[in-house]
Amino acid sequence: MLMGSRLSGARFVVVAALALFAFAAEAAVGLTVIAGGDGDGLVTVFYPSASQALPVARGPFTLEVALNGTPLHGNARLIVVSHGSGGSPLVHADLARALVEQGFVVAMPEHVGDNYKDTSKVGPESWKRRPAEVSRTIDAVGRDPRFAPLLALDKVGMFGMSAGGHTALTLAGGRWSPARLKEHCEAHIAEDFQGCVGLATRLTGGLFDGWKKSVALWVIRHRMDDGEWYAYTDPRISAIIAAVPYAADFDMGSLAKPRVPVALVTARQDKWLLPRFHSDAVLQTCKLCTRLADFPNGGHGALLSPFPPGLSGLLAELLDDPPGFDRAALPEAERRIAAFFSSHLLP
């Protein structure tokens, strides 16, 4: 009986592998844009498509996709991807492709006031709104007549990078506070300067560094005096990946036992969000979390793919690849991300 069970299981694996091979050979990557809900921005959707893929220009990128192509039934699961501050969904197009090739539909909200077109709400104002935007993204995809018949939304995956990683940790059950951020910056303004001030300015080792730190702390103390704890969860989200997340403002105890499986992607050379204050601090507290991938020579922008061209100034300094980083490592990281979601969302 046991031998028969083993043979049956092996036969199932072979059949499943052949079905996946046939699916991958048949499907192109579809791309469409749908409306968000409740004043949210547009949602970019990548999905398996039966239509032909062609080169499509989107901003500075050319993507090989089936624009508004006919959706093809994949594995019935949705992944929501949350971009970083001032970011764009398109810088995660290569990750979306890797997920679509495994049968997932991938939805990317453009976060209100915190995207490449509008940075008026960057920081805590956006962080308060972002988790609900993720929920409404799930709702928006579920309402779309093209995708509703193809998806089961009881188990959804969520990936977020940087500020999107902050969103991911919130949805994992973490609670955060602007006042906690103020405490962190008061204690570590010199070490985690960019994490506290973003792109406003930088320390250069010059005579004005002391003045910059003093002004930064004055602003932080006046803007981050909100002591309320913020939290938000969605029971449909069943597996979460946080990549180089902003995390210094979290009550780390709230992340010790996340409500769903959580994995992190880290980069040792991240100069924007130093790992010891952010991603490593989460992993030190959360013994149930997994370090899914780590880039020893990677910077904060390691996971941006395609990488946005033409960056300059401080933004380029913080996002450009450090010397020695090989982008050939990205496909393997994307495969691990897809495998993590498959293991937790599929039967």
Q: What are phi and psi of 34, to 5 degrees?
A: -125, 165
The span from the CA of 33 to the CA of 302, in Å, is 26
Full DSSP string of 309-338: S---HHHHHHHSPPTT--GGGHHHHHHHHH
Alpha-carbon distances of 201 from 40, 101, 112, 213, 314, rounded to whole Å = 30, 41, 24, 10, 8
What confidence score (pLDDT) does residue 15 get?
A: 38
Q: For residue 33, which amino acid is it?
A: V
The span from the CA of 63 to the CA of 73, in Å, is 22
Low-confidence ranges of the chain (pLDDT < 50): 1-22
Contact 29, 65 (CB under 8 A): yes
Tokens read off for 212: 């910059």
Q: Is 167 left (phi over 0), alpha (psi -120 to 50) or beta?
A: alpha
What confidence score (pLDDT) does residue 238 get?
A: 98
Tokens read off for 113: 């006031």
Give residue-wise pLDDT tens across range 242-289: 999 999 999 999 999 999 999 999 999 999 999 999 999 999 999 999
The span from the CA of 99 to the CA of 97, in Å, is 5
The span from the CA of 124 to the CA of 223, in Å, is 10
- Full-model pTM: 0.91
The span from the CA of 206 to the CA of 295, in Å, is 31
What CATH fold (topology level) applies to the domain 17-176+230-345? Rossmann fold (3.40.50)
Q: By three-state DSSP, how is residue 264 classified? A: strand
Task: Give per-residue burial for 23-54: e unless 16+ CB within 10 Å, then b.
Answer: beeebbbbbbebebbeebbebbbbbbbebebe
The span from the CA of 245 to the CA of 165, in Å, is 4
Q: Give the contacts of 53 (CB within 8 A, at least 6 positions apart).
A: 28, 29, 64, 65, 66, 69
Q: By three-state DSSP, how is residue 229 classified? A: coil
Report the side by side order of strands in the sheet with 28-34: 54-58, 61-67, 28-34, 43-49, 105-109, 78-82, 156-161, 237-243, 262-267, 290-295
What confidence score (pLDDT) does residue 312 get?
A: 93
Q: Give the contacts of 179 (CB within 8 A, at least 6 positions apart).
A: 224, 225, 226, 227
The span from the CA of 306 to the CA of 304, in Å, is 6
Q: Give the contacts of 25 (CB within 8 A, at least 6 positions apart).
A: none
What confidence score (pLDDT) does residue 5 get?
A: 37
Q: Give the contacts of 227 (CB within 8 A, at least 6 positions apart).
A: 177, 178, 179
The span from the CA of 107 to the CA of 104, in Å, is 10
What confidence score (pLDDT) does residue 339 get?
A: 98
CA 227 to chain centre: 26
Q: Give the contacts of 312 (CB within 8 A, at least 6 positions apart).
A: none
**Domain-wise residue ranges, the chain:** 17-176+230-345, 180-228
What is the sign of the dihedral through the CA atoms of 31, 80, 195 and 129?
Answer: positive
